[in-house]
Each structure stands twice: as C-alpha cells, then as structure tokens.
A and B are shown apart, each in its own frame.
Chain A
Amino acid sequence: MLIDMYSKKIFNLAYQFTGSYETSEDLTQEIFIKVHNSLHKYDIGRNFNSWILTLSRNFLIDHYRKTKLETKKRTKFDDHYLDSEGHTDPEKKVLENQSKKTVWKGLKSLSPDVRMAVILRDIQEKKYEEIAEIMSSPLGTVKSRVNRGRIQLADAIKDQKEKNNEMHTY
C-alpha cells in the first residue's frame, strides 16, 4: 500500500532532482528501505505525506553532497519525457519543448536547496507552507530560494534565446 501510494511520487522527486533515470531508481529503493526502517519514528500527529517527502528530500540532498551529482550529466529531456499536452501549433510546441529542455538542463546549475524548492513549487505545485515543512526551513527562506531559482532558470532561457538568434543570423 505504501509502495502503491508513494513510489511514483518519490521516484519523480528523485528524477527531477538528480536528472538521472538509473540513479533515481536506485535512490527510490534506498529511500524505501529507509522509510521501512524509520516508520517507528513517525510522529502520528504529523502529516504522513510531508514526513515521507522530508525523509526523501533529506536522503536526496545527503546523497548529492556525498556523490557530487552535479558532475554527472542529466538525462536528456526527450529520453523519458515524451511530448506532453500543450500547444497544437507545431511551431509553438517546438518552442515550448525547447524551454522545457532548457529548464530541465538548467536545474543542474541550481544549488541543492534552491533546486529542491523550485521542484516542489513549480513542478509539483506544492504550497509554500508545505514546502517549508518538507524542507524544515522558514517560509521566507523557501520563498527566496524559489525566487532565486526562477531567476537563474530565466537567465538560462535568455542565454538559450540569444544562442538561437545567433544561429538564425548565420
């Protein structure tokens, strides 16, 4: 039951954070072993969803610090994300996919805490209060991390646009 309810969530969080499909599969297994071994520590008064995501977030950031995942390449966006629903206009769809590829790649350049805050807010669409609980950080810190992450990704989009313009010029 626990696996049915949370395996997809944890795997996706790991994949969005690490950008590597194989590593995320390994990490999901390790997180579940940790969840099984820590169930007795769960405080019944706490939201279970937040508890399991806090545990996953701590595990992913610890793993990142130990292995320095930033040195590894993120999987190409196309490899596992097929074209999702969006614009029907092919030209706009190309541009939309181009932005997705850029932000997916750009996530790598964000520091682990900023990256996690952006993933939880903008990909998983969680409330700031829930993110603050998951990340065990003050609300203001979370909001500022999200803002910082968005600005960095916006800069990546700007750079990509400039590159595209240069290519069109030649």
Chain B
Amino acid sequence: MKCTHIEPYLSPYLEKELRPEKMSQIENHIKTCPDCAELLSNIKEARAALAGIPEIEISRSLKKTLYKIPRKRFKLSFDFLFKPALQPILAAATVMITVITLYSMNPEREQINKTINQHIHMGYSKIERLYARAESLTNTLAGYKESVLFSIKNIDFFWEKND
C-alpha cells in the first residue's frame, strides 16, 4: 500500500472508525514505513496540542457591550435595490424619470402639449370613423342575413318536385 493511500485513513485509524481488516492493514503499513509512523505520531501530537488549548474568559467590557445590544436594531437598508430581479423595473423607472424630466424642463412645453393634444384628437377621430365603418358593415351584413336565411329556408334538399 502506498503512503498517499494511507493518508486519508490516518484520522479514522486514530479514532478507531475503520473496519478491523482495514485497521490491521494500516497498522502493518505503519510498522514498516517510518515516514507514515512519523506523520501519525505528529498528528497525535497536533491533536493533543489542540485539545490543550483552553477556553478563555471574555472581558468584562465585552460582556457589558453585549448587554447593551438592543433586541432589534432597525436599520434603513437599500440592499433590495441591488437584487437582479428588480433591474428591469429600475431601468424602466429611469427611462420614465428621464422623459418626465425632459418634458417638465423643456421651454417649449406648450408646443409639446399642443402637438400631443392634436395627436390624441386625430387618433380619437380615426377611432370614430373606424367605429362608424364597422357599424355600416354590421348593417350591411344584417341585410344579407335576411336573404341568406330566406335562401337556406327554401333550399330544395331532396329535389322534390313541386309541381
């Protein structure tokens, strides 16, 4: 068994988490390999040293500061503005704000209003004309309807002889 294959098993070996056959395999390798034996010994030393690091007490001043922390600290946060989902909305809002600003700051605002009104009225009269044409078409169709119904009613399906 190569030393590199042994390394991942060193901790489980120390903690006796391996199956008996694997344990004896590692043990046999360590007996014959001085490098792995040294590594294992140093791991043991490192573990012992880490276990010997004591928990230290916190300072009085820190404890005092911690007690002063309010239950809930409300803070104004604008983080939500940077969410990717909001980007299209923000872009649209920016365009709207730019258009409104350009319009309200424009010295020829009256002229713009006039043109807008003109276009709105033109559009409105177009719609009226379209509506009137649609109405006349409906009336024409209604006229045809009478004659179509009359024709259907008088179709001679079975070529019956009327005379």
Give the bracket for the number of chain A residues in contact with chain B: 35 or more
Of B41-49, B93-101, B123-131, the one with at least 4 CB within 8 A of chain A: B41-49
Residue A151 CB within 8 A of the other chain: yes
CA distance A103 to B70 in the complex (A): 38
Which of A3, A123, A143 sits near B53, CB closer than 8 Å? Answer: A123
Cβ proximity bits B40-70 to A, threshold 8 Å, 1 near / 0 not: 0011011111111111111100110111011
Of B4-12, B104-112, B136-144, the one with at least 4 CB within 8 A of chain A: B4-12
B52 touches A100 (CB 8 A): yes
CA distance A136 to B49 in the complex (A): 27
CA distance A123 to B53 in the complex (A): 7
A158 → B minimal CB distance (Å): 5
Provide the residues of chain A in CB contact with B10, threshold 8 Å: 147, 150-151
Provide the residues of chain B in CB contact with A103, threshold 8 Å: 46, 49-50, 53
Task: Given A36-B73, A81-B53, A158-B42, verify A150-B47 contact (CB < 8 Å).
Answer: yes
Query: How many residues in B have their beta carbons less than 8 Å from beta carbons of A?
Result: 34
A28-48 interface with B by 8 A CB criterion:
28-29, 32-33, 36-37
Residue B72 CB within 8 A of the other chain: yes
- Total A-B Cβ pairs within 8 A: 107
Provide the residues of chain A in CB contact with B43, threshold 8 Å: 150-151, 153-154
CA distance A16 to B70 in the complex (A): 27
Residue A80 CB within 8 A of the other chain: yes
With both beta carbons as reference points, the residue of chain B lying nearest to A31 in the complex is identified as B66
Provide the residues of chain B in CB contact with A59, threshold 8 Å: none
A-B contact pairs, 28 of them (CB 8 A): A3-B67, A7-B58, A7-B63, A8-B58, A11-B56, A12-B56, A25-B62, A28-B66, A33-B69, A84-B53, A99-B45, A99-B48, A100-B49, A102-B49, A106-B46, A122-B46, A122-B50, A123-B50, A143-B11, A147-B7, A147-B12, A150-B43, A150-B47, A151-B43, A153-B43, A153-B46, A154-B43, A154-B45
